Structure 1
Amino acid sequence: MSDTDGKKPLGLGGDIRSGQVKQSFSHGRTKSVVVEVKRKLNVPVKPTAPAGGAAAPSPRLGDPSKRPAGISDAEMERRLAALRAAKAREAEDNARRAEEERQREEDRQRKRDENEAKEREARAAEEAARQKAAEEAAAKAAAEAAAKAAEEAARRPAPEAARPDRSNDRPRPSADRPSTDRNARPAPGTAGRPVPPQPPPEDGRAPRPTMAPRKTDREREDRERAAAKAKGDEGRRTGKLTLSDATSEEGGRQRSLAAMKRKQEKARAKALGFGQKSEKQVRDVQLPETIVISELANRMAERGADVVKSLMKMGMMVTMNQAIDADTAELVIEEFGHRAIRVTDADVEQAIDTVKDKSEDLLPRPPVVTIMGHVDHGKTSLLDAIRKTTVVSGEAGGITQHIGAYQVVTPRGETVTFLDTPGHAAFTSMRARGAQVTDIVVLVVAADDQVMPQTIEAIAHAKAAKVPIIVAINKIDKYEADPQKVRTDLLQHDIVVEQMSGEVIDVEVSAKTGKGLPELLEAISLQAEILELRANPNRAASGAVVEAKLDSGRGPVATVLVQNGTLKKGDIFVVGEQWGKVRALINSTGETITEAGPSMPVEVLGLSGTPAAGDTLNVVDTEAQAREIADYRASVTRDKRAAIGAATTLEQLMAKAKADLSVAELPLIVKADVQGSAEAIVQALEKIGNDEVRVRVLHYGVGAITDTDVGLAEASKVPVIGFNVRANATARASAQQKGVDVRYYSIIYDLVEDIKKAASGLLKAEIREHFIGYATIKEVFKISNIGNVAGCLVTEGTARRSAGVRLLRDNVVIHEGTLKTLKRFKDEVKEVPMGQECGMAFERYEDIRAGDVIEIFEREEIERTL
């Protein structure tokens, strides 16, 4: 059925004509529509004769037969009038524009004329000033010349003055009669100027013009000057400078005043005996295995060009920047008259001060106490009770994984430095370092447990370091505690406590209730008094690196325990293969200090790189010495590695290659937050495996996971393990694009267990984390009955209350847990999308700051097969 349903289309009737038009639309669609067109009535106008009173057509309106159809005379008149008005307006506009253009051109011409007139006036004023200055200079010169001539005439000898003056017999030049003397020259500045009339003398004779000094005077002065030159002494001119002397060509150019002063100084120095050439100083030149020619010249205090010339005489075409061997350099040193002293590269270590301190310079220092023992026996909790802090709540998994260094003031006012070492089996090297830098070892053993493997290891480290041991039997508040069993078990390891007639002090303590803590501190003070711990604070500092890490905001940071001397801000030091200048010192409470004395643990900022934990820090005098020592140590390390590789024979390589064919390897890349954790993780992973499977760490380092680590992982087809660190934004995007597996861990035994299961093929389910979103803390609000609440902005993904969260500060994990609340305005919500603000509070954690980042994730168990 059509759109009209059989009805006639509506129309206006009359002279209306209908038709169809085809419309085109996009995508090739068309449509036919019905249109109506109004017909035009073309009524022919017949010309009539001007008879019967009919008016003839106006000649202004043109021939009516040539007009458009339906145009009357009145309409034609209106159209013609409008056309004439438009032409008149156009003519007026053209005339107005021409007038405006003419006025603008006149204004431009007037401004050009004004500028030219100002320039002419300025040039005329400048020319007038120049002429005036020239006239004044000429007049001044003429006056000075006349005055000098008068003085010369007054100083003439009497016999010559008594002679009859016959100069008046000669005709004198006047203004109306020019002078006939061809050699006469006008004074400078007086050319072309009229000569002022001279007043008549008293005797009535005609005035005598001013003349230059007589020829006899000039001859006498020339004879005196020639005599002075004949003596070899061009002394300073005698008498005053006259106009004739200045203009005559016989005098020539005179010596300047500065030259005369230099000459007088030389003469005075020669008279006093200072001008003799000093004897050449013989120097002791330290000569290494190779030396650059410019450095050799610098050590001899000779010109580099002379040293190069000497070598060229020996037949060596060298430049200043080339290195020569020690034998050639010794010949050059002897040729210049100096003494050569052969040194080796190891002599750079002599820059470190190794002078023994005198007994009168030693002062008492606080004791360094290391807390050691098995994992989960309460070491950190006991230290927290002493410090009255809650460090254990911030440790991942409730176990210590770093070496913590703290300084505590006891109730008796004594200062004690505590080192808290981890008790996990992987941290053997950390416990060894703690025992090496300590004075007293506090062995913590749980009363409800027995002597465990890490306890035995701690006893071995303490005995190897030859430091006294104090046994702290912890957790005596528990019902199942049995301190006597602990004392009996310690007998098997040669630890006999005082209650069993031994020499080792034992104290029963409870970190939870605080029982026995005063007795423990008193035992530590008593043991420190027996040891008589002393150090010299007034010398260059030396210390041991307890821990080192790479901070994204502060760079390499090392926790150093100062053992001797005083470490000050601005000191230049060398530590291991790194060197630096102390930019800041931060104590255990987070305060910035200017110096650190003996037995004080501090964080040192300003290193060139991350040192190894356990390295020794030494303060040196100059930056050049520190850099030289660090370069030497780095070269020695490289040589040792190369020597180990070169010692492997071809047969050993072939045997190893055959053995590797039957061994499956699990290569890894490890990045950790501190140097000690990275070292412990690598040692623990290398112990995993047997004859069929093993773990190989391709690379390990400190700091956040970077794009370089992701690139190495992609090339080697290995996963990246991050321990308490995260990948930055670039590395995260690169890893996602390249398909590199990046895994994050916060507890070391989870990491070791995961890698062990993966290597052995027993990993049944993989716990994989799915990133959900990020939220940035904008402000922190403290609300009663709730605690600190973070005002956050969801910057990526979604924030869900049921998901796990981590608190990141500079891409380092600070806390991991769950959310206590997630609110949108006043309502509790399940999730908040990206771009919206919300409030978050953590479960049992309050240390949140503005600028921290909250990472929201979900864990998923995935079944996998190898």
Structure 2
Amino acid sequence: MSDTGDKKPLGLRAPGARPGSVKQSFSHGRTKNVVVETKSRKRVVAAPPPSAPAGTATRAAAILGDPARRPAGISDAELERRMKALAVARAREAEEAQRRAQEEAEREAERQRKLAELAQREAEEAARAEEARRKAEEEERRAAIAARKAAVQAAPAAPAAVEERRAGAAPSPSPRKTDRERMGRDLDKAARPARPGREGEERRGGKLTLAQALDAEGRQRSLAAMRRKQERARQKGAGQEPREKVVRDVQIPEAITVGELAQRMAERVADVIKALMRMGVMATQNQTIDADTAELIVEEFGHRVSRVSAADVEHAIDTVEDRPEDLRPRPPVITIMGHVDHGKTSLLDAIRKTNVVAGEAGGITQHIGAYQVTTDSGAVLTFLDTPGHAAFTSMRARGAQVTDIVVLVVAADDAVMPQTVEAISHAKAAGVPMIVAINKIDKPDADPNKVRTDLLQHEVVVEKMSGDVQDVEVSAKTGQGLDDLLEAIALQAEILELKANPDRAARGAVIEAKLDVGRGPVATVLVQNGTLRQGDVFVVGEKWGKVRALLNDRGERVTEAGPSVPVEVLGLNGTPEAGDTLDVVETEAQAREIADYRERLARETRAAAGAATTLEQLMARARADKDVAELPVVVKADVQGSAEAIVQALEKVGNDEVRVRVLHSGVGAITESDVGLAEASKAPVIGFNVRANAPARAAAGQKGVEIRYYSIIYDLVDDIRAAASGLLKDEVREKFIGYARILEVFKVSGVGRVAGCLVTEGVARKSAGVRLLRDNVVVHEGTLKTLQRFKDQVQEVQSGQECGMAFDNYDDIRQGDVIEIFERETVARAL
């Protein structure tokens, strides 16, 4: 043996490495230790920072004490300054090195912690897998023992005796004892633990008796089957532990589909359908179940139930009250109201310096308009122009509801008229202040004092009559008094202190709505609160949409509209009703859900109103309708407000004998479906400021449907009234032309009883009708069979002359009876 001295033993280990071992785990519980090398990581440890001031002072003292070491041209002060700077730099570098070392140590500690956690998780998983494997093997061993017990007990003794006789052996002295011994051997063999990896040997070990060979139930499965079973058990044990069931709060409306209920519970639809079938309810995932059934299902799945009403979808609309510090001043909304042809639109044109009147058919306003005006003083005003015709009552009421100030326009030469009174009523009902503008002051017959006096009858007392309502004399034609009117409006707005919050979800009112070709449904909206922006999702009445574009009153495209700003909104899924409220919501799903709920509610309300009648009421209505003639019409208009006004005006046409029934009303062009509806009901189609498209015109020509176009509402109403008058029955009037008294009654052969009469008044004609009066009671009404004067047949007999009369099919005439002679005339009636 050689002496190695200080030499290190030869090996493949790298310098700085030390031996170690890692335990590897394999399937079937096998493990193996593997020798590895562990190399230590070089760690950088920062040296403690030197005492900078002391070292610097020492070196500075050495240099200062040795002038030969001092650089040339460096003074003592400069050298000291440089040395101080060098000391500061070195101290900073030392601190930085220490910080980096500390961060490196923290990262290394975090990495070691994660490695330890990972190793612990792997060890736990391996332990769980080993435990599952052990339990599976134990279960299999117990099952095998039980199977062998059953096989031994069921095996008969006869086959064993037969086997012994065939082998030439002596008969067993006690078959019962042989069976017990064999049973004991089998039980001992089954009780021995199986060696790992030797399942096949255990199965094939031992003697195969005739009883075991004949007993099919006692045979074991194949080795491959046993391995597959163990693998399944091992995978099941090594898998994740069953997660704890998540209990959810499930909101249940009044009706819900099975699929929606399963989605809210986060359960499989098939499981929900099975639960319903167990309850006796056969339903698919698209069928609707009631809230009580849904509650039972939710409770069966272990979730918490939260019953909600269908109306709760409205809670998505932001109804939070604004804080006073969030409110900002906003422009006033002024509505121009008054009687037709009193100069409302002309006055607004004079303020805006435009000419809207020229564009209105017949020179009257038939649409509600919204405009924004900036005065010379810089004030911004929003004006609403309403129609003055009697048919546009709803438009005027709608304008009064969304306004801040009402400007009542009264013509100085016409004074207070019916629609002026109606406008006063709307303003009082809305509770808004009023300013009276006495227009047409430039006319020679203008009498503003008469206007002020007439207003007193309707409890409107102007300032010049010692009241509190401002009145201004203006002329839309000459511009007189316009500045005074704007000043009065600004004063009234200042008193009201109008404010709104522009930094919240927008809310507004639909002034007008129409169906535009190329742009789709368009709504004129007056924003009342918040700011409406392009891209906002909103719900308006039974419709919803997303703002695709915003247009101001001059047709210019804008990106947002604040409080008191009128804009046209594009992007609706249908034409809303004028007067609906627009609310901005967060998502399209919320908007769609709210619109569907409102539409369903309106449909149910209409159905309930139609169904809330008894059988007797239906029979009475049917009898009443049988005596009433109807004129059906189909109405299409350019805007929703006009369609509403036309329908309301036509419903007022008629009496107890005839009436107008509007089959359908809508906005947009006349389509082929409108023509089909009119043809089925034998009704005309009325177009107000709209035309029929080409397919509709072709269909109307083929089916003989009349299409009538109008641009002025009172022409439309007059024509419909005339057409309805044609359905009235002609009035039959009686005109008494004479009286005669019976003096004598004769019996004439071939004629019957003939009355000898004296015409006491008027004239008697054969073609006229007669009534026989007895004691002033009508006993017969008919016609004359004969009228004779002496022996001649005559057509008439004058007063004071005698004649003979005989009645058709009536002979009961007596002396002293009075004959009343009359003629009938037919008079055409009109509404």
TM-score (structure 2 length as normaliser): 0.60
Mapping of 1:754-833 within 5 angstroms?
754-761=719-726
| Correspondence 1:410 to 2:261 | no
Q: Distance in 2 between matches of 1:320 and 1:155?
A: 74
**Paired residue secondary structure (2:604):** helix
Q: Aligned partners of 2:493 and 2:300: how far apart in 1?
A: 61
- Using the alignment, how far apart are the partners of 1:744 and 1:269 within structure 2? 88
Write the letter of the residue equivalent to 2:121: K
Q: Distance in 1 between matches of 2:277 and 2:724?
A: 66
What secondary structure sits across from 1:557 in the alignment?
Answer: strand
Q: Aligned equivalents of 1:271 and 1:497: distance in 2?
A: 93
For residues 393-443 of structure 1, give each alpha carbon's deviation from its aligned partner in whole angstroms, at most 9, with x where no partner exists. 000000000000001111111111100000000000000000000000000
Task: Encode CA deviations 1:467-512: one digit per residue, 9 max, x unaligned.
Answer: 0000000000111111111000000000000011100000000001
Equivalenced residues, count = 524
Q: Which runs of 5+ in 2 are unaligned?
A: 1-9, 14-21, 38-113, 126-239, 729-829
Does structure 1 retain, via aligned residues, the 8 Å contact 2:334–2:382? yes
Which of 520, 535, 547 is 2:500 aligned to?
535
One-letter code aligned to 1:563: Q
Percent identity of the aligned residues? Answer: 75
Deviation at residue 454 of structure 1 after TM alignment? 0.2
- What residue number does 2:431 align with? 466
Report if aligned partners of 2:675, 2:685 keep a CA contact under 8 Å in 1: yes
8 A contact 1:403–1:420 mirrored in 2? yes
- Structure 1 unaligned regions, length at least 5: 1-153, 158-223, 240-262, 764-864
Verify: 1:351 aligned to 2:316, yes or no. yes
Does the CA contact (< 8 Å) of 1:292 and 1:321 recur in 2? yes
Q: Distance in 2 between matches of 1:309 and 1:451?
A: 75
Q: Does 1:270 align with 2:121?
A: yes
1:571 correspondence with 2:571 = no
* Aligned-partner SS, 1:559: strand
Counterpart of 1:664 in structure 2 is 629
What's the CA shift string for 1:17-49, capped at 9, x where partnerless?
Answer: xxxxxxxxxxxxxxxxxxxxxxxxxxxxxxxxx
Q: Which residue of 1 aligns with 2:252?
A: 287
The amino acid across from 2:457 in the alignment is Q
1:305-704 map, 5 Å: 305-311=270-276, 314=279, 318-704=283-669
- How many angstroms apart in 1 are the aligned matches of 2:291 and 2:618? 38
Deviation at 1:697, TM superposition (A): 1.0
Are the equivalent residues in 1 in contact too, given 2:670–2:687 (CA < 8 A)?
yes
Q: In 2, distance between residues paired with 1:381 and 1:272?
A: 92
Which of 709, 712, 716 pairs up with 1:751?
A: 716
Letter in 2 for 1:390: N
Q: Counterparts of 2:691 and 2:622 in 1: how far apart (Å)?
A: 36
Q: Distance in 1 between matches of 2:24 and 2:433?
A: 100
SS at match of 1:408: strand
Within 2, Cα distance between the matches of 1:565 and 1:227?
A: 68
Question: Post-superposition shift, 1:560?
Answer: 0.7
1:264–1:611: structure 2 CA closer, same or farther, 3 Å change rule? same
Q: CA deviation at 1:278?
A: 6.8
1: CA distance between counterparts of 2:544 and 2:652?
33
Quickly say closer, same or farther: Cα 1:227–1:425, change in 2 above 3 A.
closer
* Preserved CA contact (<8 Å) 2:335 2:405: yes
Return the alpha-carbon distance in structure 2 between the equivalents of residues 602 and 273 of structure 1.
68
Quick one: structure 1 residues 451 and 155, their matched pair in 2 at CA, closer, same or farther if it must change by over 3 Å?
same
Shift of 1:761: 3.7
Q: What secondary structure, in the 3-state scheme, does the structure 2 residue paired with 1:493 have?
A: coil
State which of 687, 693, 706 in structure 2 corresponds to 1:722.
Answer: 687
User: How much has 1:333 moved relative to structure 2?
Assistant: 2.3
Contact 1:374/1:423 (8 A) holds in 2: yes
- Compared CA separation, residues 227 and 662, structure 1 to 2 (3 A): closer
CA–CA distance in structure 1, aligned partners of residues 281 and 647 of structure 2? 52
- Maintained 8 Å contact 2:344/2:409: yes
SS of alignment partner, residue 431 of structure 1: helix
Assess if the C-alpha contact under 8 Å between 1:228 and 1:235 holds in 2.
no
Rate the CA distance shift 1:226–1:353 in 2: closer, same or farther, 3 A. Answer: closer
- State the distance in 2 between where 1:600 and 1:450 align: 33
- One-letter amino acid matched to 2:646: I
Q: CA offset at residue 719 of structure 1?
A: 0.7
Q: CA deviation at 1:626?
A: 1.1
Whether the 8 Å contact between 2:24 and 2:31 is mirrored in structure 1 is no
Residues 534 and 548 of structure 2 are in contact (CA less than 8 Å); yes or no, is this contact kept in structure 1?
yes
Amino acid at match of 1:418: F
The separation in 2 between residues aligned to 1:672 and 1:335, in whole angstroms, is 56
Shift of 1:639: 1.3
How far 1:328 sits from its partner (Å)?
Answer: 2.9
CA distance in 2, matches of 1:762, 1:330: 59
What corresponds to 1:845 in structure 2? none
- Paired residues of 2:507 and 2:528 also in contact (CA < 8 A): yes
Contact residue 497 and residue 506 of structure 1 kept, 8 A: yes
- Match of 1:456, as an amino acid? V
What is the DSSP-based 3-state SS (H/G/I as helix, E as strand, rest coil) of the residue aligned with 1:346? helix
- Counterpart-to-counterpart distance in 2, 1:391 and 1:682: 26
**In 2, Cα distance between the equivalents of 1:372 and 1:581?**
33
Provide the residue aligned with 1:297 in structure 2: 262
Q: Residues of 1 paired with 2:497 and 2:119: CA distance?
A: 68
Compared CA separation, residues 234 and 718, structure 1 to 2 (3 A)? farther
Q: Which amino acid letter does the alignment assign opposite residue 717 of structure 2?
A: V
Counterpart contact for 2:534–2:549, Cα < 8 Å: yes
CA contact (8 A) 2:24 2:32 kept: no
**Is 2:23–2:34's contact at 8 Å kept on the other side of the alignment?**
no
Return the alpha-carbon distance in structure 2 between the equivalents of residues 266 and 308 of structure 1: 44
| CA RMSD, Structure 1 to Structure 2 (Å) | 3.1
Residue by residue, what CA displacement relative to the aligned partner does 1:208-266 show, whole Å, maximum 9, x if unpaired? xxxxxxxxxxxxxxxx9999667655899989xxxxxxxxxxxxxxxxxxxxxxx9999
Distance 1:322 1:285 in 2: 19
- Displacement of 1:346: 1.3
Give the match's secondary structure for 1:680: helix
SS at match of 2:485: helix
Q: 1:237 to 1:431 in 2, by over 3 A?
A: farther
Amino acid paired to 2:393: T
Asked if 2 retains the 8 angstrom alpha-carbon contact of 1:431 and 1:458, the reply is yes
Partner of 2:135: none
Q: 1:461 to 1:276 in 2, by over 3 A?
A: same
Tell me how far apart the structure 1 counterparts of residues 120 and 444 of structure 2 sit (CA, whole Å).
99
Sort the Cα spacing of 1:340 and 1:477 in 2 relative to 1 into closer, same or farther, 3 A: same
Q: Is the 8 A contact 2:514 2:522 kept in 1?
A: yes
Which residue type is aligned with residue 391 of structure 2?
Answer: A
Normalised by the size of structure 1, how large is the TM-score? 0.57
User: Contact conserved, 2:373 with 2:381, CA < 8 A, in 1?
Assistant: yes
Q: Which whole-Å CA distance do the structure 2 matches of 1:573 and 1:235 have between them?
A: 70
Cα distance, 1:313–1:718 mapped onto 2, change above 3 Å: closer
Counterpart Cα distance in 1 of 2:674 and 2:280: 52
Give 1:354 shift.
Answer: 1.1
In structure 2, the CA distance between the partners of 1:587 and 1:268, relative to structure 1 (3 Å rule), is: farther
